[in-house]
Amino acid sequence: MNQNCLIGLFTRLELFFHLKFLTIQVLSDQAHKLSPIPRYLAASLDRDKIRPQDATSVVSGVAHNLAGAHLAWRHLQMNWAKLVEKFGDGSFTMGNLIESTISHFSTEFDLNEVQSFFRSLQVGSGQRALAQSLEQIRINIQWRRDHQQQIRNFIDSKVLSEKEMEVPL
């Protein structure tokens, strides 16, 4: 099996698990409140809890976790002024925060939300990261358009239907 086949298989499997995760709604409001993710994000703003040089790793780690991706994006939106004050708009850190928080998005909704949020902001040296991230989101959207139905068909053909999963009594 060549490397491109392996990468394609990994991508399909990743999407498979992502789609299945989205269909399972097991998190209650109470479970969400108990999640440590918001606490990690809040701690990234506190120099006494997380060193400034490690704060981007915390936000990036949360953003690359399926359960935390949109929480990290909301954190960036709600705390933009604090982050600029902490890191400065001329630092590469802001570019890293932008890229790690949004470049994995893959829906028109997310693209529009990102564009709307950054439209009126000066992102300084993060401008290149923003432009590259917006391009990556567009690529992700196109990839989903091109492959989503094929993957859904594959998953449906491999996963037992609800009727097949019924256990006779």
> What residue spans define the domains of the chain?
35-156
> Among 74-83, 85-94, 125-134, whose mean pLDDT is lowest?
85-94
Distance between CA 15 and CA 46 in Å, rounded? 35
| Structure-model confidence comparison of residues 47 and 17, the more confident one | 47
Please state which of the four CATH numbers 1.25.50.20, 1.10.8.100, 3.30.565.10, 1.10.260.40 is assigned to the domain occupying 35-156: 1.25.50.20
| Structure-model confidence comparison of residues 113 and 27, the more confident one | 113
Instruction: Confirm if 108 and 141 have CB atoms less than 8 A apart.
Output: yes
Q: What is the pLDDT of residue 20?
A: 58
117-168 tens-digit pLDDT: 999 998 888 999 999 999 999 999 999 999 988 888 888 887 755 556 565 5
Supply φ then ψ for residue 139, to 5 degrees.
Answer: -65, -45
